[in-house]
Structure 1
C-alpha cells in the first residue's frame, strides 16, 4: 500500500496564479455563484462600419443595466438579483451568480458615440457601436490616365 505524501510549497505559486486570474478577469468579475461574482460574457465582432457586441445578461432586466461610452471605452454595468430570497441554511446548491457586475471593453478605433444602438432580448444585450467616419475603411478608386 502506497502512502500519500502531502505536497507543500505552493504558497508563492498560488499567489502568482491568483494575481494572474485577477488580471485576466479585470473589468469583469469571475464567475463563481456568489454575491458580486456574476460575469458578463461578451462576444465582439468588427464589421466594416461598426463593432457589434453581444453580452449575456440572463436574469437581468434591461432597466438594471447601465451602458456608458467614454471615447473608445464601453462600460456595461448593472446588478443581477438573487434568484430567490433564502436563508443560508436553506441553500442546497448554487451555481447561478448574482450581485453587481461591470465589464469594460475598449475598441481599437474611434467610434461614433451618438449613433450607438442597444437592445435587450431574452437575456442577451445586443449593442451596435458605429465606427467614427474617419476610422471606417473605404475603397479608393484609382483614376486612369486619359
Structure 2
C-alpha cells in the first residue's frame, strides 16, 4: 500500500476513484494476519521450554560462565562434565489448586532446560567451581598452568 497520492494539475486532492489508494477489506485482514507477529507470540510461549541467557568470558587464567536463572534454588541444578562437555540442566514442577464454594481451579506448570558447552582441554577439571547467587548461576573454569597466558618476555640482544 502506498502512502503517496496523485495531485491533479488543478491542485485538487479529490479523487474520482476513491478506492484507488486504499486496500480492500480482505487484503487488509490478510495483511494483519500474514505480517510478522511480535516475538511474544512466536517464542516458546506456554511450552515450558525456555533457554536462559548465558554470558561467557575469558581471562588469562580462567573462563567464566554466568547464566541468568532467577527463581530457582541451587538444589534445582545439575551440572556435569563429561568428555569436555559441560552440561547444566534443571527441572521444575509447580502445581496449585484453589477451591471455593462455587469453583475449583487447578493450575500446573512444568519447565526444564539443558544447556551444554564444549570446553577446551586446557581447563583444570579438578578446580571447577559453581555458585548460585541472586538469580545468577556462575561457573568458574580455571585453566591449567601451562595454558595460562604468560606475560611477554623481553629478550636482550647480545
Q: Give the shorter-chain TM-score range.
A: 0.5 to 0.7
Q: 1:68 to 1:3 in 2, by over 3 A?
A: same
Q: With the length of structure 2 as denominator, give the TM-score of the two structures.
A: 0.60
Determine the C-alpha separation between the residues in 2 that align with 1:64 and 1:99.
11
Determine the C-alpha separation between the residues in 2 that align with 1:119 and 1:4.
56
Please name the residue that 2:25 is paired with. 3
Determine the C-alpha separation between the residues in 2 that align with 1:65 and 1:109.
24
Determine the C-alpha separation between the residues in 1 that align with 2:25 and 2:154.
78
In the alignment, structure 1 residue 124 sits paired with structure 2 residue 136: yes
1:52 Cα shift?
A: 0.7
In the alignment, structure 1 residue 70 sits paired with structure 2 residue 82: yes
Determine the C-alpha separation between the residues in 2 that align with 1:38 and 1:65.
15
Q: With the length of structure 1 as denominator, give the TM-score of the two structures.
A: 0.64
Stretch deviating more after TM superposition (133-142 or 123-132): 133-142
1:81 aligns to what SS in structure 2? Answer: strand
Please name the residue that 2:111 is paired with. 99
Equivalences for 1:1-146 in 2 at 5 Å?
2-5=24-27, 6=30, 31-35=44-48, 37-82=49-94, 84-86=95-97, 90=105, 98-108=110-120, 110-146=122-158
Determine the C-alpha separation between the residues in 2 that align with 1:128 and 1:103.
16
**How far does the alpha carbon of each residue in 1:36-62 deviate from its partner, in whole angstroms, 9 at most, with x for none?**
x13222111111111111111222211
CA contact (8 A) 1:59 1:123 kept: yes
Q: Which runs of 4+ in 1 moved over 3 A?
A: 89-92
- Gaps of at least 5 residues in structure 2 are 1-18, 35-42, 99-103
2:146 aligns to what SS in structure 1? Answer: helix
1:120 Cα shift?
A: 0.8
Comparing both structures, which one devotes a greater share of its residues to strand? 2
Please name the residue that 1:16 is paired with. none
Determine the C-alpha separation between the residues in 1 that align with 2:82 and 2:142.
14
